[in-house]
Amino acid sequence: MKVLEREVSPPKRNYLKIETSGLSRDLDSIISIGIAEKDSHKIKIYYVESFKDERLLLEEVLPLIDGKIFITYAGKNFDLGFFKTKCQMYFSKDFSFNFIDLQEVTKAYNFIFKLPSHSNKVLLDNFLDTSNLSKEKDYQGIKIKSLFKKFIEGDKSSMDRILDYSLESLKNLILLDEKIRESLKSKLSFDLSSSAFTLEEFEWLGNTIILQGKTNYPEDYFASRGLYSLEVFNKLEEKLSFLNLKEYNKSFVIKINTEDGLYDEKNKCYFIVKKDFPLSLENKSKLKSPSKIIILYYLDHVFENEKELCKKILEVELKN
């Protein structure tokens, strides 16, 4: 087993990228694990020189990632399965893996991003200036499995190509995380007077829309108006969160009761009637609707309208 190190601007979070000899966690091997640790000046790619090195690779890397939070791409759907299978195979025990998966993040917020898919290429094309990713085109369609086979057969340059690809992928992962995070915060956040608010979770439960977020509003608050309720309270114990809004000391929850009706032949929409709310409301989305109602959910969250209603409720209740 060997380690490739490269200088990098210290990232603000931990990042991880693995390469494997194939897609089967039972039959294939982890051949490299790339790590960029928070505040570290070096990216490290740990890699094998033969199939028998896989255990050594894991013995070296697992203590570095056990219990820590790492940003990944497809980490929950791919990396995690490999790690768990290999840990049982070699060590007969589980480790604590805390992976935030950018693919899952963009899927969860796709009512904001509206991406056609969540492939790595689509994310890079939508969030990064790909003209500055000089090596990205060099690796389109790269076949790690074929390169590793050539390496095992004696072609040392094949491993160099795998490592180069892994290094570039890890750098891109760092950039991608930063851009997705910036984009989400700009879309989810707003200020009301001297207080800042950031929406974080969106839930549709029956005819109720539940909006949750964080704020630096200084006081606790509760109101129940029949059509909606609002609560501002001290933050509960933090769960694993992409936005990680530690700068806010309060949470807020708004629950909105909606009416429903068919929007088209197959799908319902969930809406409020404007005259029922003592607020100045308008349709902020591109979704066409009758002037007397505001649609909050149709096929997915109508984010623009939900955010606007959230702001109006907070303005009225907190007298901002």
What span, in angstroms and rounded, lies between the C-alpha atoms of 193 and 313? 14
Q: What is the pLDDT of residue 241?
A: 82
Contact predicate 45/171, CB 8 Å:
no
What is the full per-residue pLDDT of the chain (320 aa) written as tens digits? 999 999 999 999 999 999 999 999 999 999 999 999 999 999 999 999 998 999 999 999 999 999 999 999 999 989 999 999 999 999 998 889 999 999 999 999 999 999 999 998 899 999 998 776 656 555 655 789 899 999 999 999 999 999 999 999 999 999 999 999 999 999 999 999 889 999 999 999 999 999 999 999 999 999 999 999 999 999 876 677 888 888 899 999 999 999 999 999 999 999 999 999 988 999 999 999 999 999 999 999 999 999 999 999 999 999 85
Q: What is the pLDDT of residue 160?
A: 93
Q: What is the pLDDT of residue 139?
A: 60
Q: Crossing angle of helices 54-65/80-91, nearest 10°?
A: 110
What span, in angstroms and rounded, lies between the C-alpha atoms of 292 and 303? 19
Contact predicate 281/312, CB 8 Å:
yes
Cα 143 off chain centre by: 26
Q: What is the pLDDT of residue 137?
A: 53
Q: What is the pLDDT of residue 161?
A: 92
- Which letter does DSSP use for residue 240 in this model? P
What is the per-residue DSSP string for 177-233?
A: HHHHHHHHHHHHEEEETTEEEEEEEEEEETTEEEEEEEE--SS-EEEE-SSEEEEEE
Q: What is the pLDDT of residue 237?
A: 66
What span, in angstroms and rounded, lies between the C-alpha atoms of 302 and 299? 9
Q: What is the pLDDT of residue 163?
A: 94
Residue 101 half-sphere exposure, CB side, CA atoms within 13 Å?
A: 14
Which SS3 state, helix, strand or coil, does residue 96 take?
coil
Q: To which H or E segment does residue 113 belong?
A: helix 110-113
Contact predicate 202/108, CB 8 Å:
no
- R_g of the chain computed on alpha carbons: 24
Contact predicate 2/47, CB 8 Å:
yes
Q: What is the pLDDT of residue 235?
A: 80
Q: What is the pLDDT of residue 134?
A: 52
What span, in angstroms and rounded, lies between the C-alpha atoms of 97 and 75? 10
